[in-house]
Structure formats: structure tokens, C-alpha cells
Amino acid sequence: MKASAILFFLATALLMGICIIGNEGCAQIGAPTGGPRDSIPPRLVSASPKPGSTGFTGNKIVLNFNEYVNLEEVQANVLVSPLPKTNPQIDFKLKTVTVKLKDSLIPNTTYAINFGDAIRDNNENNPLKNFTYVFSTGNHIDSLRFSGKVIMAETGKSDSTLIAMLYRNTVDSAVKKTKPDYIAKLNGTGGFTFINLSPGIYAVYALKDGDGGKTYNSKAELFAFADQNITVTDNSPQIVLYAYAEEKENKNLPIVSVKLSGTDKKLRYSLSIAAQNQDLEDDLEINFMRPLKNYDSNKIRLTDTNYAAIPSARLRLDSTHKTILLSAAWKEATAYRLIVGLGAAADSAGNSIAKTDTIKFYSKKEEDYGTLVLRFSNIDLNKNPVLQFVSGELLKASYPLTAMEWKKKLFKPGEYELRILYDENKNGKWDPGSFTKKRQPEKVIPLTQKINIKANWDNERDIKL
């Protein structure tokens, strides 16, 4: 073989990835890599009419992109301002997105169509984030902006599932009867921005729109309102809205069930004794599935191991009539007996306790708890602050603050978030607002740091708001 032919063979073999026998540096044969992943979203190359057009009188908008596109979740992503009575029809084909307007347009008004994350490329699904097409039926484009933030009054946190709403009609009944003129979505921190507004006076609200009606029609909906109407100008100040539900659903604490005697036709109940250990500072709860029609306090007894009655024991029925609360001056590491006698209670369905049950349990030890000391450096005691301890989504405990240092000897171990409630009416709990009475909700300030309380440990922390 000629030298030139050999060189040609070797060069070809190396380019094709063929392993040559005797070549120690030979790599395994494999498919060539495809290069870096495409992460570039589609780009608008032309539009008819052009973005920012004035004197718009048509009902069709055509957007052309530099690559094939898809549309995803149009109803959830696309937002038209001012809000139309009928949503536009939005379609796509190849590199083109077409918008057909169904409503007659308001004269001398700037419109903005925000596509959110709906427009994506066909290959890698890269979204063209918050692409907005703007046009005007008048002779100019309105360019004023108005921003704000929505905070959940009860927790001090944000909820991006709410929407902010602007009304040109500023009478109170408008938010209950008609859809808003403008809608803005909230970001992850509760912030919102309205764009392309004309100067004027607006009413501003926030709403968790459960039924999709864009109106405040249930006191169970999360809702927020501003104390005064806002004037949109070149220098409109930001606003903070505090959202609340006037008729909030009650969230009961989880109950640890205890399996007791009886059949499905008999009245059954569960106890709030975790691992048969009663908390030293809590009531013992006897929980029923249905509201009780009546109960006999003489047939429910708390005793010691010798069946002698505990004199400090007291029974009461809670407001739901589903729970009997037993309070007592619990002694640490002590054995108790709870005796629930035959016929002690009957529910609204006519079921009653069919036999006497005796439940043995113990109270916890003091060493099962931690001692907690918190020192506050800049809290305003004149605002009636209440210290709240939160685990997960549950409010576990709350205590009014009357001094700059707060201490508790027996505190349940665990990790807690801390919050400060400013208790305006001094009733020790958070109270919602009322749009009808123009009363804002009480406000809660969340503290950034969490606290981890250890059992049998002195836990101390300096707190600065």
C-alpha cells in the first residue's frame, strides 16, 4: 500500500471514530454529542398591526415569530387589559399566533395583551415570559404604571394565587356586581403592577377568585381593599393591601385516635392523648363525629390509679358540640384513669355510649419540655402585641406581651415560626376585616428566624423586629 493511501486511511479512521488495533489511545465508539441545549425563547419578528399601534379599529392581530411555536394554558396565562366581557380567541400555527377579538373596543383606550408564559418554542418548550402586545384605539399609548403588594393579614406572608383589581367605578357595590377594568397577577412576593394606565381615580382591591367570576361575592373569599381610592399619576405611590377572609373556615388541630369498644351503631369517640401521654398544659379532648345532643358530666370521671376522683377536673362542651374538654391541674409523670360510663353522651343521630370504658394514661414529665426565654429589643408594647408560635400551618400557642422579656418554663419541643400580632381590640386573637364596615383586618408581622426548642434545655433568643 502506498504511503499516501495509508495516511488517508488513518485520517478517515480517526474522523469516524474507528478503533485501530495497537493504538493505546483509542476511545470507545459512540454517537456524536448534540451540543448545548437550546434555551432561547421564540422572538417576535413582525406583527400586524405593529406593536404600539394607535387608532386601532380591527379585531384581528397576527404575531410572527422566528421559530415554530406552541401555546400552553391560554386561559390561565393570557391577560387582557382592560378586561373584556368575552375572552379573545387565540390560535397558533407554525410560526404564527393569531388573536381574534370578540368584544367591541372602548374608544380612546390603551389595550395590553399579556401572554404570560403561554408562547413557547416547539422544540424545547422555552417560554417567552410575559410577552405583552400593546395597542390603542385612541391617538396615543397610555404609559402610566401603578404598583403595590398584597400581604395575608393573618400570617404576614404572600399568596400569589390572588389577583389585584382596578375599577374606574369607585362605588363600593362595583366590586360585588361587576368585573374590574384591570387585573394584575401577583408574583411570588405578593407584588403586582398595572401598566398602560390612563390618569385618573381608581378603586383597588385584591381577591382570591375561587369561582372565576372576578367579583367579591362570598365572605369566605380572601379579599383586600384600600382605605381610599388611588389617583394614578406619573408618581403614583405604591400601596400595601392586607387580605383576609371575613368568614374563615375553622382548622381543627389533629386528633390522635384511640380505638375503644363499641360497634358502628354505637357512639364512638377519640381522645387527644398522644402515645397515651397527656400534655401538662393542655385539656384532654374527647372528640365525637357528630354534635352531641347531651352528655352527663357525672358519668365522665378522671381518677388516680386507686379510682379516687381528681378534685381539679372540670368538663365543658366546646362551641361545635363535638368535643368535651377535660381540664385538670395535671401532675407530672402521674398515672390517671379516665372513666367514660354507660350512657355518658348521646349524639344528634340518637347514638349513645353503649358500655363503660376505662382508659389508662400518664401525664408527661417536666423534662419532656424546654424552658424558653425571648428578649425583644424594639417592640411597641402600646400596640398590644401578641406572640404567636406556628408549626407548619397551625397556630400552636399565643401569649400577650407585656414586657420586653418573655419566659415560659414548660414549652413543647419542636421547631416554630414566630409571629407578632398587633391585637387592636385586646381579645388575644387575630380578627378579620369588614369591607361593609370599612374595617381593616388586624395585622401580623412574621419574624424571619425560626426557633428550635429542645426538651430539658434552656432555650434563649434575642429578637429584633
With a cut of 50, say whether residue 22 has pLDDT above it.
no
DSSP code at position 434: B
Q: Domain residues of the chain, as ranges?
A: 44-136, 144-243, 269-364, 369-463
The mean predicted confidence, pLDDT, of the chain is 89
Q: Output the CA angle 431-432-433, nearest 5 degrees.
A: 125
pLDDT in tens, 387-409: 999 998 899 999 999 999 999 99
pLDDT band at residue 350 using 50, 70 and 90 as cut-offs: confident
Of the CATH numbers 2.60.40.1120, 1.10.10.10, 3.40.50.300, 3.40.190.10, which one belongs to the domain with range 369-463? Answer: 2.60.40.1120
Q: Is 139 exposed, middle or buried (0-12, 13-18, 19+ CB in 10 A)?
A: exposed
Confidence at residue 393, expressed as pLDDT on a 0 to 100 scale: 87
Mean local confidence (pLDDT), 143-169? 96
Say how far apart CA 328 and CA 324 lie, in whole Å. 13
SS3 category, 435: coil
- Buried b / exposed e over 244-273, threshold 16 CB at 10 Å, is bbbeeeeeeeeeeebeeeeeeeebbbbbbb
The pLDDT score that the predictor gives to residue 344 is 95
Q: What is the pLDDT of residue 264?
A: 53
User: Distance between CA atoms of 208 and 185, rounded to whole angstroms?
Assistant: 11
Out of 3.40.640.10, 1.10.4080.10, 2.40.128.20, 2.60.40.1220, select the CATH number for domain 269-364.
2.60.40.1220
The answer to whether domain 44-136 has CATH 3.30.1490.20 is no
Contact 56, 47 (CB under 8 A): no
Mean pLDDT of 368-377: 94
Q: State the CATH class of domain 144-243.
A: mainly beta
Tell whether the model's pLDDT for residue 249 goes beyond 80: no
Tell me the C-alpha to C-alpha distance, in Å, between residue 429 and each of 158, 318, 380: 20, 17, 18
Q: What is the pLDDT of residues 208-219, one digit of tens each?
A: 998 888 999 999
Query: Is the model more confident about 100 or about 29?
Result: 100
pLDDT at position 464, please?
A: 85
C-alpha cell at 36: 448545548
Global confidence as pTM: 0.77
pLDDT value of residue 35: 56
Query: How far is 320 from 288, CA to CA, in rounded Å?
Result: 10
Classify residue 327 as exposed, middle or buried by CB count within 10 Å of its CB (0-12, 13-18, 19+).
middle
- 26 pLDDT band, cuts 50/70/90, is very low
| Lowest-pLDDT range of 132-146, 256-270, 278-292 | 256-270
In this structure, the number of other CB atoms found within 10 A of the CB of residue 401 comes to 19
